[in-house]
Every structure is written in structure tokens, then in C-alpha cells.
Amino acid sequence: MREIQFREALREAMNEEMRRDEKVFLMGEEVADYNGAYKVSQGMLDEFGPERIVDTPIAELGFAGIGVGAAMNGLRPIIEFMTFNFSLVAIDQVINSAAKMMSMSGGQFSVPIVFRGPTGNAGMLSSQHSQNFENWYANTPGLKVVVPCDPYDAKGLLKTAIRDNDPVIFMESELMYGDKGEVPEEEYLLPIGKAHVVREGSDVTLVSFGKMMKVAHEAADELQKKDISAEVINLRSVRPLDYATIVESVKKTNRLVVVEEAWPLASIATDISYNIQKDAFDYLDAPVKRVNSMDLPLPYAPTLIEAILPNVKRTIEAVEATMYI
């Protein structure tokens, strides 16, 4: 199977859906003439023209609102945020308009829109450009929140998101755009709301999503050297969240560690911990452990970034704490 970059997988998904459905269009800062801030939309202006690949001013609230209105009137916008940190400027349109419109209109208006762009730490970008808002958006009824971890997931999930009749938050990683992975040439779709068991194991369940899957995979490799067999689950989406797959895994391994880049308070890991103790308490041989970023704004210095973010060492320590309690 061929290998392509994460950004190329996203581009293929958008190209294929725009060829399939003329109602789909892309709008955001630098998506057209500049070929995208991260070159995700490279070449799309040449194929689809300025009416469907639309450059915007630096005005997230404005073009997010235009997208919501367009979706309510039958189009299928893809709204690109240069980073989800900037989505805070547009959060009123995302939460108070897109997420609520179906309910407030009594089902008269659907909002088939995708808000996509990078989330989380992207290197030495400091506090205002390094935040994770997956748990914020996942706390909003009416939204779906998808976080792919590799090119295969990126293409299959984005195609599904574009076809979805509900608003979808599609959160990528700036640090992963150059990552390569196997992607089929034939069309495929991945379901939103179904987790993927990417590695079978018997001693502990590791759950993660997005770029933190790299930490989970590396930790599982290191644990194997210690004769600890880790089952690794890739959530793919955090709303809806596939609790059933995690429960079935915990019934087998009897231990759970959740690795997530966001801050610990009210995190996805917190919600998973509650639901697993609610639905699989009798199968747990140890308390659920969370590995989150420390409860601090992310600094600029690379040494401090490394100390604050989840890493393999902290993940292994969390697993060992469940094994030797």
C-alpha cells in the first residue's frame, strides 16, 4: 500500500468530496493563494476556483458565521482555523449557532459543517498557541469531535465528517502534517464514534487519541520489554466516545491508563475514568490512572515543554503503579 503524508491524506479527502458534491467548499485564512498555512489545500484553488476555495480576512468569528449560514442553506462548508486556539474568537458561532441550530429550529435546519485545523502543542509557540480544546467542544451537545492520529484515520474520518449532517469539530496536529502512513488508493470511510483497538494486550489498557497515540505506542513497546502486555486503543473521536470498546478491553486487562494532552480538570480522561468505574468497576484491579499535561499554561522553553506534556516515562510510571499497587 502507498504511503502519503498526513496533509496529503486530508487534501485527498477534501478533493474527493468536492468532486463528488458541488455543495462542498473550503474557507479560511490563506487556504487559496498561499495553498494553506500548512499546505493542506495545495493545488485546490487551481482545480476548484475562488468560489469554492475561499481566502478570508483574519476574522474567525465572521467567516465561521458565514459558514454556519451557508450550511443552514444547503451547502457543506469546511471551515479551516489556522489553529484551534484561534477558534476561541469564533466560539460563539460554533457553540451558540452551529451546535444548537438543529434543536432550536425544531429540526428545520441542519448544519452540515466541518471546522478543522491543528490543536495542541506545536513546538515553541508558548501559551496562547499550544492549547487543547477537545474536551471543551466535546462538552457541547450538538457537536461531534474527531481527532485523527495518522494519515489513514485522517482521510477516512474527514470524508465521513464532510458527509455528516451535523457540525463536526475535526482536530489535527501541526506536528503531524508531515507524518507518513499507509492510505488505500480506493475510497473508504471510517465511522465517527467507533474506537479502534490497534494493539492487543492482556495486562493493561492504554487509551489515547491524536498525536498522543505516539506516546501510547512507544510506551507499549517499552512495557513489552518489561513483560507487561499493553492493549492500545485509539479513540478516533471524543464525541461520540466509544465507552463500550474500552469496557470490553478493561474486562480483559483489569487495568486502565488514559493518555491525553489536555489539562487534567474536566478532561476526556476524567470522563473515561468515571464511566469505566461506573460500568466496569468489578473488573478493575487498580484505580484508573490519567496522564495529562500538567495544570499550567504551556511555556516557550523546550525543556519546560518536555516536562509539562505527557510522555513515555510518565505513561510507564502510571502503568507500573497499576501493576504493583
Place of cell 507524518: 179
**Which entry of 29, 129, 174, 260 is annotated as an active-site residue?**
129
Which among 12, 60, 172, 231 is annotated as catalytic? Answer: 60
Q: Can you list the alpha helix ranges (DSSP code H) found in 37-125?
A: 44-48, 60-72, 87-91, 101-104
Known active-site residue 218: no
For 281, the grid coordinates are 468497576
DSSP result, 200-267: --SSEEEEE-TTHHHHHHHHHHHHHHTT--EEEEE-SEEES--HHHHHHHHHHHS-EEEE-SS-STT-
Catalytic: 60? yes
Q: What are phi and psi of 197, to 5 degrees?
A: -80, 105
Between CA 257 and CA 316 the distance in angstroms is 9
Alpha-carbon distance of 138 to 101, in angstroms, equals 17
Q: CA-CA distance, 211 to 284, in Å (whole number)?
A: 27
> Known catalytic residues?
60, 129
